Structure 1
Amino acid sequence: MDGADPHIHVEESVTRHDSGARSILAGTFGLAGDLPETAATGCGLRVPFAMTSHRPESVTCLACREHARAQHLRLAEQTERLGTMPGSAITGAQAGRVAEHHRALAQRFADGP
């Protein structure tokens, strides 16, 4: 992490969005968690958190784009399977909508910046 990398990356755990957790904590308890200074990325680097994005149009690192695409496709498949399991907390239709959302994100990562 020498600051010379001009690319925008994705976090290693692409499908985890900490902003939701921070919003819940802030709304419930009046607490706001600090953002991390650095983040592990999909391409294996550790970069300043400010050099990451979850928006496909902003990510310029090709290895991170491919990593994010694969992660979203994997989550889409897992979600669809969850929707078909007996006793699942979500219906098949709900699982289908979530899976389609993640497939659309995967396609946006595949399309390039």
Structure 2
Amino acid sequence: MATSSGSEPGPSREGEENKEKDERMFECNICLDTARDAVVSMCGHLFCWPCLHQWLDTRPNRQVCPVCKAVISKDKVIPLYGRGSGKQEDPRYVSLNSNANEEKGTAKKLSNSLEMS
């Protein structure tokens, strides 16, 4: 006997709820978006590397996890590599190298401008 309750019971709604729960498991604990360049702390919390890097840089004398306040440091976080991720580079070193390259570029520009004057 068919009922006309207007809503379909079942797997599609449950599937959507499960998908949302799964996606929330991979959210950065700082920005609350899906973690990009994901790293996990020794205390088990997940972050975007850029978010955690900024968090630690703005608190040089207080290096603690933003969630549980356990001691944390840049060299004690573990990068996570997904199956679908094309790049398998450690985000901690990629950002350091890009910062160093930016500084070299700025120094070269300053040097060139001083030579011209």
The structure having more radius of gyration, on CA atoms, is: 2
- TM-score, normalised via structure 2 length: 0.31
TM-score normalised to the size of structure 1? 0.32
Q: Which has the higher contact order (CA 8 A, sep 6+)?
A: 1
